[in-house]
Structure 1
């Protein structure tokens, strides 16, 4: 299969007050961890959607092997980033893996397991020990739906709409921390220092 990774990293970091993509994590900007995971996961192509602090991100993050897609409407929610990125995905691609740029704890094993287990279904999602979480899988037949998303929780609404088969793929451990606030960032660093990887 031909699979494209789409990393959402266009947020304006309004709750944090500074670009979360550039927070220090393991000696590099936070976004670097997700991009490294995408690069190591055997994906055929990786797109990263940028918006807030895009120029700073381009200047400070290693984007080798990654294609940047700029989202001028990033302030309207992640639905706009998904729409912007989907427009750049080859229509012949079998599907996409959707990753969050501020969720560095997602493993390459989770990405590969998701593609292997859900790759023939319209939608796939990871089932962690404590709930559902990224990465998500969307087959080519879902691209038109993704291109019409609006708002911040639109992708979750699509997942829970009941209109499409959703394959849940078991992944050991808790849902990886998603950094939206300073407390989230502190929790991420604390978990990392404790060897919780």
Structure 2
């Protein structure tokens, strides 16, 4: 089975005021960390979507061996999955959708998901955590037509109303996304944010300090 990994990293971070992709996480940019996990999954193809901060990200994050798809309209809520479909290899049986701002997802979770959907044809595969469904999400080629009609990336979940689903057990609670300063501080300190809906403006940080790499990475070749 030919599997494509799709790491969504095009959304901006209005509640952070800085590119979340470049927040320091375990000694490297946050997107670099989630991208490294995606590489560990051993996908046959790996795609990452970038938005309006694409130039900065390319200067600081190692994108070697990754197909990059620019999605500048993601900042206005448009789906970055839709333009990424044009870059998916024609041999692909399905894509595994991951989130660039969710560093707690592990390669083991991805492997478990792919193993479950590799047998009988499975249109959608959802990771089922202790506190609910979450990413990674498997989308077989037969649902690509519906993926191409998404208005936003969050609309991915609406596909569950129209296609059979395989729920695959994942260990623990849904890994938190880093969308506010509170999320960031708690994640880097090893504490999980309290469950609940994302509250815009939950934390105001008038003078944030973002430790970035001292020197930009040398820009590397990306696959075409």
Normalising by structure 2, we get a TM-score of 0.81
What SS does the corresponding residue of 2:143 show, helix, strand or coil? helix
Q: Which runs of 4+ in 1 moved over 4 A?
A: none
How many residues are matched?
A: 190
Unpaired runs of 5+ in structure 1?
none
Q: Is the contact made by 1:76 and 1:152 (CA closer than 8 Å) also made in structure 2?
A: no
- Other-structure match for 2:46: 46
Cα distance in 2 for residues equivalent to 1:124 and 1:91: 20
What is the correspondence of 1:77-116 to structure 2 with a 5 Å cutoff?
77=77, 80-116=79-115
What SS does the corresponding residue of 2:189 show, helix, strand or coil? helix
List per-residue Cα deviations over 1:53-87 (Å, max 9, x = no partner).
1100000001122111001211232x520001111
- Other-structure match for 2:33: 33
**Residue 32 of structure 1: how far off its partner (Å):** 1.1
**Residue 157 of structure 1: how far off its partner (Å):** 1.7
Per the alignment, do residues 90 and 33 of structure 1 end up closer, same or farther by CA in structure 2, a change over 3 Å counting?
Answer: same
- Other-structure match for 2:220: none
Highest CA radius of gyration, 1 or 2? 2
What SS does the corresponding residue of 1:74 show, helix, strand or coil? helix
**Residue 192 of structure 1: how far off its partner (Å):** 6.6
What is the correspondence of 1:1-197 to structure 2 with a 5 Å cutoff?
1-77=1-77, 80-119=79-118, 120-159=121-160, 161=161, 163-191=162-190
Cα distance in 1 for residues equivalent to 2:166 and 2:76: 29
Unpaired runs of 5+ in structure 2?
193-224
Cα distance in 1 for residues equivalent to 2:27 and 2:70: 26
Q: Is the contact made by 1:4 and 1:46 (CA closer than 8 Å) also made in structure 2?
A: yes
- What is the aligned-residue RMSD (CA, Å)? 1.5
Q: Is the contact made by 2:38 and 2:107 (CA closer than 8 Å) also made in structure 1?
A: yes
Higher share of residues assigned helix = 1
**Residue 43 of structure 1: how far off its partner (Å):** 0.6
Normalising by structure 1, we get a TM-score of 0.92
What SS does the corresponding residue of 2:105 show, helix, strand or coil? coil
Q: Is the contact made by 2:45 and 2:89 (CA closer than 8 Å) also made in structure 1?
A: no
Q: Is the contact made by 1:91 and 1:140 (CA closer than 8 Å) also made in structure 2?
A: no
